[in-house]
């Protein structure tokens, strides 16, 4: 396939959770003006694209994923003119903006839903999925479907004696995409933002868009915990409510809307499923979604052998021109550095890998300074999921990379060592408690320290930006025979030029064959290493514990 590299195939995306990034009004909640103030920081870090979690009108039952107006800004975050200013400031810096698009559902408070729920004859009735129960008088829901978070997926409304379907939480009800009016309206929501100039969308739980028309009962599985390899969870396979053939077609319809616009913009989908299912979203001719989140790193132990296996599968299943993504964390997952037991050396090594693989890296705010996951009580959690599971005695399962309250990965950004970590003015209470780690882990402190994680990200992003081989080069593993459990090595190749990446995953010094005679060191996780010394007799080079290097 002869397809040129487009800007989005090699960009670097940073995810901002607006509620927690920077508060300029003193209400304890981050806002758009706060993001504007921090754009220089992000530009200096080397970020090219920013994806924003939703800042649209919402009662905030699920912190913005429950929307009441898709084309307006929630007042706690600012106004439409703040948005316009933010977009302009970003474009002036050559940065791209990606919005979160929650197509699957609306808030239960959305005027569309209120109308729809009001009577069986309401013109908006068919905008949602209403069905009769199995017995009259609200006795039994239409089928056995469960939500992604457990419990029946049907909510009974006695005013019309019918049930309505929702996939996630009862505060968010699924739209009915079999109704062409709904589709048309939501495509126009996309155009509304595209006309303003936004550069892409992140598609929230896209795999849940369609459900089986006949509402066939779901099937049983022994799988309890969610996995990044299939959709089964809590004893249900989710065969009839996720990844329906209609949803793959829908991905291509979304692409067509995007293709109305120049210059090219992109879609990245949040979808769960098997690799075969995921591949279908890219479209048979790469004419579906531009990218999908590939989440496996978020739930895989730090191990070169296991990481190599994921990379191998990604390269095999999504070869060029398909664009893979490399994701270590987001607002739903445990913070990556906490899976690494807060080990900064390991985080540097992982970042070196993430930013030198073929594809698009996604960096979650605070990941660049090593913000850890914070413990919160489930019962008093801000996150509705945490409250829902408050009867469970444990709150997190590190090995699987998730915690039952997502509050832990959403704490305010740690800018300084001042009270409130420089996120909010000192005299106010932040919406979520600031992590106790802020005295030691904060931007101001890390900027000054050349050996910090933040400066490691900066150096890596600079090298990536300056080096077309790292952006566009082919990927190839270097066989490490007896060192599979200690080391990961690969090369990137572009127009006969090569760059090598060697990563020592062990706590020991490693002696390795150097693939070139006189290597030029481009980067080391050790900030003070200036050269790569190779023994001229046997061509052996030495890596320090957990060191990662890039050289040509």
Q: Tell whether residue 331 is a contact of ligand GLC (CB under 6 A).
A: yes
- Contact indicator for 159, 200 with CB cutoff of 8 Å: no
Tell me the CA end-to-end span of the chain in Å, nearest whole number.
28
DSSP class of residue 367 equals G
Task: Tell the smallest beta-carbon distance from residue 269 to ligand GLC (Å).
Answer: 11
Q: How far is the CB of 377 from ligand GLC (least distance, A)?
A: 19
Least CB distance from residue 66 to ligand GLC, whole Å? 7
Residue 484 in contact with residue 305, Cβ under 8 Å?
yes
Nearer to ligand GLC, 58 or 352 (CB): 58
Contacting residue, 23, 31, 48, 62, with ligand GLC by CB under 6 A: 62
Which is catalytic among the residues 31, 66, 100, 204? 204
Instruction: Report the residue number, 78 or 269, with the smaller CB distance to ligand GLC.
Output: 269
Give CA–CA dist 551/545, Å, rounded: 18
- Judged by beta carbon, residue 165 or residue 457, the one nearer ligand GLC is 165
CB of 168 to ligand GLC, least distance (A): 4
Asked if 102 interacts with ligand GLC (CB under 6 A), we say yes
Structure tokens at 395: 């709150």
* Per-residue contact string for residues 181-220; x = within reach of ligand GLC by CB under 6 A: -----------------------xx---------------
Task: Give 535: exposed, middle or buried? Use CB within 10 Å, 0-12, 13-18, 19+.
Answer: exposed
Of 332, 417, 472, 498, the residue at the interface with ligand GLC (CB under 6 A) is 332
List residues bridging with 146 in a β-sheet.
152
Residue with tokens 């155009």: 191
195 is an active site residue: no
| 173 vs 337, beta carbon nearer ligand GLC | 173
Q: Which residues of 34-47 are buried (b: 16+ CB within 10 A; e: fewer)?
A: bbbebbebbeebbb
CA 118 to chain centre: 36
| Closer Cβ to ligand GLC, 65 or 415, answer by number | 65
By beta-carbon proximity to ligand GLC, the closer residue of 244 and 461 is 244
The 3-state secondary structure of 50-93, one letter per residue: EEECCCEECCCCCCCCCCCEEEEECCCCCCHHHHHHHHHHHHHC
User: Within 13 Å and on the Cβ side, how many CA atoms surround 285?
Assistant: 4
> C-beta of 410: minimal distance to ligand GLC in Å?
9
Minimal distance in Å, beta carbon 205 to ligand GLC? Answer: 5
**Considering beta carbons, is residue 207 or 346 the nearer one to ligand GLC?**
207
- 33 touches 82 (CB < 8 A): yes
User: Any contact of residue 388 with ligand GLC (CB under 6 A)?
Assistant: no
Active site residue 260: yes
Q: Which tokens sit at 485? A: 């459990």
The nearer residue to ligand GLC, 76 or 204, going by C-beta atoms, is 204
Residue 203's closest CA among 253, 153, 237, 241? 253
List beta partners, residue 156.
Answer: 163
Residues 220, 226, 227, 228, Cα dihedral to 10°: 110
Q: Please, what's the b/e burial string for 22-33 (b: 16 or more CB within 10 A of its CB; e: otherwise)?
A: bbbbeebbbbbb
Q: Does 45 bind ligand GLC (CB under 6 A)?
A: no
* Of the candidate residues 65, 166, 318, 546, the single one contacting ligand GLC (CB under 6 A): 65
51, 128, 168, 297: which one contacts ligand GLC (CB under 6 A)? 168
CB of 226 to ligand GLC, least distance (A): 11
Rounded to a whole number of angstroms, the minimum distance from the CB of residue 68 to ligand GLC is 14
Rounded Cα gap, residues 511 and 514, in angstroms: 9
**Choosing from 260, 429, 466, 508, which is the catalytic residue?**
260
Binding to ligand GLC by CB under 6 A, coded x per residue (else -) over 258-277, reads: ------------x-------
Q: What number of other Cβ atoms are within 10 A of residue 81's Cβ?
A: 10
Complete DSSP assignment for 94-131: T-EEEEEE--SEEETTSHHHHHHHH-TT-TTGGGB-EE
410 makes contact with ligand GLC (CB under 6 A): no
Residue nearest to ligand GLC (CB): 65
Least separation in angstroms between CB 395 and ligand GLC = 17
> How many residues line the site for ligand GLC (CB under 6 A)?
9
The set of residues, in sequence order, having a beta carbon less than 8 Å from that of 110 and lying 6+ positions away, is 67, 68, 69
479-518 binders of ligand GLC (CB under 6 A) = none
Q: Which is nearer to ligand GLC, 203 or 541 (CB)?
A: 203
Residues belonging to the active site? 204, 260
Which parts of this chain interact with ligand GLC (CB under 6 A)? 62, 65, 102, 168, 204-205, 270, 331-332
């Amino acid at each position: 396939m002869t397809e040129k590299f487009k800007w989005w195939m090699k960009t670097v995306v940073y995810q901002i959770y607006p509620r927690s990034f920077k508060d300029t009004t003193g209400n304890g909640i981050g806002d758009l003006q706060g993001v504007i103030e921090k754009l220089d920081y992000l530009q200096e870090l080397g970020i090219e694209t920013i994806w924003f979690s939703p800042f649209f009108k919402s009662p905030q039952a699920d912190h913005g994923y429950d929307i009441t107006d898709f084309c307006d800004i929630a007042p706690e975050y600012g106004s439409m003119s703040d948005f316009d200013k933010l977009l302009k400031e970003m474009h002036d810096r050559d940065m791209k903006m990606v919005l979160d698009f929650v197509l699957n559902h609306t808030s239960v408070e959305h005027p569309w839903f209120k109308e729809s729920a009001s009577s069986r004859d309401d013109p908006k009735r068919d905008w949602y999925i209403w069905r009769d129960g199995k017995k009259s008088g609200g006795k039994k829901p239409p089928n056995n479907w469960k939500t992604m978070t457990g419990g029946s997926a049907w909510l009974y409304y006695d005013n019309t004696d019918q049930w309505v379907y929702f996939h996630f939480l009862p505060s968010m009800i699924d739209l009915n995409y079999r109704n062409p009016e709904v589709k048309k309206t939501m495509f126009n929501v996309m155009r509304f933002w595209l006309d303003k100039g936004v550069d892409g969308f992140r598609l929230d739980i896209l795999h849940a868009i369609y459900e089986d028309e006949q509402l066939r009962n779901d099937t049983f599985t022994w799988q309890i915990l969610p996995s990044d390899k299939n959709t089964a969870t809590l004893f249900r396979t989710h065969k009839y409510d996720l990844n329906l053939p209609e949803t793959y077609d829908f991905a291509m319809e979304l692409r067509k809307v995007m293709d109305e616009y120049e210059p090219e913009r992109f879609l990245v989908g949040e979808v769960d499923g098997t690799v075969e299912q995921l591949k279908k979203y890219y479209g048979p001719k790469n004419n579906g979604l531009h990218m999908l989140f590939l989440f496996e790193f978020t739930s895989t132990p730090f191990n070169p052998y296991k990481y190599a296996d994921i990379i191998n599968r990604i390269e095999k299943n999504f070869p060029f021109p398909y664009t893979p993504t490399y994701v270590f964390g987001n607002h739903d997952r445990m913070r990556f550095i906490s899976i690494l037991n807060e080990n900064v050396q390991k985080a540097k090594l992982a970042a070196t890998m993430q930013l030198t693989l073929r594809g698009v890296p996604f960096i979650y705010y605070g990941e660049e300074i090593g913000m850890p996951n914070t413990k919160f009580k489930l019962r008093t959690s801000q996150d509705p999921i945490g409250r829902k599971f408050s009867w469970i005695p444990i709150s997190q399962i590190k090995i699987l990379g998730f915690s039952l309250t997502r509050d832990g990965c959403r704490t305010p950004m740690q800018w300084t060592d001042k009270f409130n970590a420089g996120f909010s003015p000192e005299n106010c209470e932040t919406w979520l408690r600031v992590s106790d780690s802020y005295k030691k882990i904060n931007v101001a402190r890390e900027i000054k320290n050349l050996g910090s994680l933040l400066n490691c990200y900066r150096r890596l992003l600079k090298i990536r930006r300056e080096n077309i081989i790292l952006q566009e080069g082919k990927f190839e593993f270097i066989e490490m025979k007896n060192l599979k459990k200690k080391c990961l090595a690969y090369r990137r190749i572009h127009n006969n030029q090569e760059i090598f990446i060697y990563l020592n995953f062990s706590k020991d010094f490693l002696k390795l064959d150097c693939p070139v005679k006189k290597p030029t060191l481009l980067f080391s996780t050790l900030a003070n290493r200036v050269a790569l010394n190779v023994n001229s007799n046997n061509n052996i080079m030495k890596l320090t514990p957990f060191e990662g290097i890039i050289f040509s």
